[in-house]
């Protein structure tokens, strides 16, 4: 009966076995939990001449920093054992614990834990635990030393000017990269765990005073509203806490860049850092945020304004160009110049398929090449994308399967999609592009404009943590129209004196320029 009680788990998979003062009982429970785990290193050893006082150490190999274990802990313990006073066996349990705790650990990060569940979690997280005879608690020593790939340049958000550092899979590395950029005691990191079995560390980073309390509370509530086995990537968490799961538009910004995350925090937004992934989540977000890149604010405003205007034009082409071509050439050729119509007709001579079939075939071929390029190794993938596109496009034209103008339209659509900084927004364009193609194929220009209207109505109804998705193009008066400055045009830095609408309204000012005396 006692054996069954000591191995009972509750619905949350927490070990409810209590600690006892008998070290052998605690060791028995611990080793029962990790039975069959060959990577758990454990050792029991005596302290004192009479061998009446015992200690027990356990950790998972490779998950810890072996240097800390061997020099700062085990080496110190052995030294203390040899130098232990002869009457240590006569010490009270409190005196023995203090002797070990204060003399045996050459590290400051030592804490007491009071349950077997905390012991198991500490070991699985890469810490080292100690049991002491006669002591109904355990000591946890921070010794985490996970293998990781270190800090590298982001491969999804490449910039010419700006930081080359990117987030890694190590949770603490990522929080430190942000703290290096914001040296403010009001920068807070609320740490929680999500996943009944994975117990993935989630960090909620924000600046106290800048963040809206309602947004922070909403984030915390959404993280508590579900239970799941494991969270391995930020995309899983994003899908569980987003506002509208039916929408193709992303309701979080995803980034690998610490400078972008730090900038968002200074705007009063919240950053979610998830252990084991280099992609962090920024919330709330708006459609306009996806057209802003870190590099926009590192270069002069003239050139970046031109670049940003190009992005908006490219976004329209990425979503609407194929559908617009179908509508004009199939239903409304009279709207085109006569010479252009004759040019299109000559190019399509001998092609057996209607325009919509040509477009769909080439778009699907490009999507296949894109997926193949991603899955294959780097050098091979880029070669497949370039050579495959050229060969398939040229061969399709020579075989009279598609017209040359279709290849141009599809290529221009693809290039336009890649100019948008927000990769997750580009994924939405891939879906909506086919929606507009279908509407244009059925109703011509009427279907084209109806499809755009449906998308616009959906965007107007969409929210990200109670912030309208189309801000500042709608509700711009909520922040005295200041957010409109940083939209199509990137204004000079000295004009950007107020933070955007995400910020607590009491802390909107971010720049003060002193007047000349």
* Concatenated DSSP letters of 254-277: EES-HHHHHHHHHTT-EEEEETT-
Q: What percent of the chain has pLDDT over 70?
A: 90
Give CA–CA dist 408/417, Å, rounded.
14
37-51, 129-143, 396-410: which has the minimum mean pLDDT?
A: 37-51
**Mean pLDDT (whole number) for 226-246:** 94
- Indicate if the pLDDT at residue 385 is higher than 90: no
pLDDT digits (tens, 9 = 90+) for 270-283: 999 999 999 999 99
Give CA–CA dist 483/496, Å, rounded.
9
Q: How confident is the model at residue 143 (pLDDT cuts 50, 70, 90)?
A: confident
Q: For 69-89, give one letter per residue: b (16+ CB within 10 A) or e.
A: beebbbebbeebbeebeeebe
Give CA–CA dist 401/88, Å, rounded.
91
- Indicate if the pLDDT at residue 384 is higher than 90: no
Give CA–CA dist 484/476, Å, rounded.
7
**Mean pLDDT (whole number) for 145-157:** 79
Q: How confident is the model at residue 51 (pLDDT cuts 50, 70, 90)?
A: low
pLDDT digits (tens, 9 = 90+) for 198-210: 899 999 999 999 9
Q: For 427-441, give one letter per residue: b (16+ CB within 10 A) or e.
A: ebbbebbbebbbbbb
Select the more confidently predicted residue: 71 or 286. 286
- Indicate if the pLDDT at residue 6 is higher than 50: no
Rounded to the nearest angstrom, the gap between the alpha carbon of residue 94 and the centroid of all alpha carbons in its chain is 45
Q: How confident is the model at residue 7 (pLDDT cuts 50, 70, 90)?
A: very low
Q: How confident is the model at residue 16 (pLDDT cuts 50, 70, 90)?
A: low
- Indicate if the pLDDT at residue 137 is higher than 60: yes
Give CA–CA dist 66/495, Å, rounded.
53
Select the more confidently predicted residue: 357 or 389. 357
- Indicate if the pLDDT at residue 295 is higher than 80: yes
- Indicate if the pLDDT at residue 11 is higher than 60: no
């Amino acid at each position: 009966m006692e054996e069954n009680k000591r191995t009972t788990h509750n619905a949350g998979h927490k070990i409810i076995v209590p600690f006892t003062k008998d070290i052998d009982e605690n060791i028995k429970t611990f080793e029962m939990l990790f039975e069959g785990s060959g990577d758990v290193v454990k050792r029991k050893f005596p302290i004192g001449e009479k061998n009446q006082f015992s200690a027990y150490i356990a950790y998972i190999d490779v998950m810890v920093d072996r240097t800390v274990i061997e020099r700062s802990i085990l080496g110190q313990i052995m030294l203390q054992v040899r130098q232990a006073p002869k009457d240590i066996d006569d010490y009270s349990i409190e005196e023995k614990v203090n002797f070990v705790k204060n003399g045996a650990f050459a590290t400051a990060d030592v804490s007491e834990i009071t349950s077997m569940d905390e012991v198991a979690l500490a070991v699985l997280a890469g810490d080292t635990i100690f049991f002491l005879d006669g002591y109904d608690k355990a000591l946890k020593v921070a010794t985490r030393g996970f293998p990781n790939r270190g800090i590298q340049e982001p491969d999804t958000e490449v910039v010419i000017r700006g930081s080359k550092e990117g987030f890694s899979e190590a949770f603490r590395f990522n929080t430190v990269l942000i703290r290096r950029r914001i040296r403010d005691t009001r920068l807070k990191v609320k740490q929680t765990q999500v996943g009944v079995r994975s117990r993935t560390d989630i960090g909620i980073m924000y600046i106290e005073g800048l963040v809206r309390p309602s947004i922070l509370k909403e984030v915390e509530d959404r993280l508590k509203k579900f239970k799941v086995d494991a969270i391995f990537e930020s995309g899983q968490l994003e899908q569980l806490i987003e506002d509208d799961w039916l929408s193709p538009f992303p309701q979080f910004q995803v980034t690998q860049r610490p400078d972008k995350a730090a900038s968002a925090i200074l705007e009063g937004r919240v950053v979610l850092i998830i252990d084991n992934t280099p992609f962090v989540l920024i919330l709330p977000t708006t459609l306009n945020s996806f057209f802003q890149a870190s590099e926009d604010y590192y270069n002069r405003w003239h050139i970046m304004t031109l670049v940003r205007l190009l992005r908006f034009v490219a976004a329209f082409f990425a979503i609407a160009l194929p559908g617009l071509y179908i509508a004009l050439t199939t239903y409304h050729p009279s709207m085109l110049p006569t010479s252009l119509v004759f040019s299109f007709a000559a190019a399509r001579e001998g092609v057996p398929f209607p325009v919509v079939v040509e477009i769909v075939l080439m778009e699907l071929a490009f999507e296949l090449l894109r997926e193949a390029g991603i899955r294959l190794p780097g050098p091979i993938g880029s070669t497949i994308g370039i050579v495959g596109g050229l060969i398939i496009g040229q061969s399709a034209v020579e075989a009279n399967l598609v017209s040359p103008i279709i290849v141009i339209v599809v290529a221009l659509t693809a290039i336009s999609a890649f100019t948008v900084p927000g990769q997750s927004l580009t994924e939405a364009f891939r879906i909506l592009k086919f929606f507009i193609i279908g509407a244009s194929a059925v109703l011509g220009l009427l279907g084209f404009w109806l499809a755009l209207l449906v998308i616009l109505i959906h965007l107007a109804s969409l929210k990200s943590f109670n912030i309208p998705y189309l801000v500042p193009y709608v509700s711009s008066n909520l922040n005295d129209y200041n957010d409109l400055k940083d939209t199509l045009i990137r204004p000079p830095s000295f004009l950007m004196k107020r933070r955007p609408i995400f910020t607590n309204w009491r802390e909107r000012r971010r720049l003060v320029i002193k007047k000349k005396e």
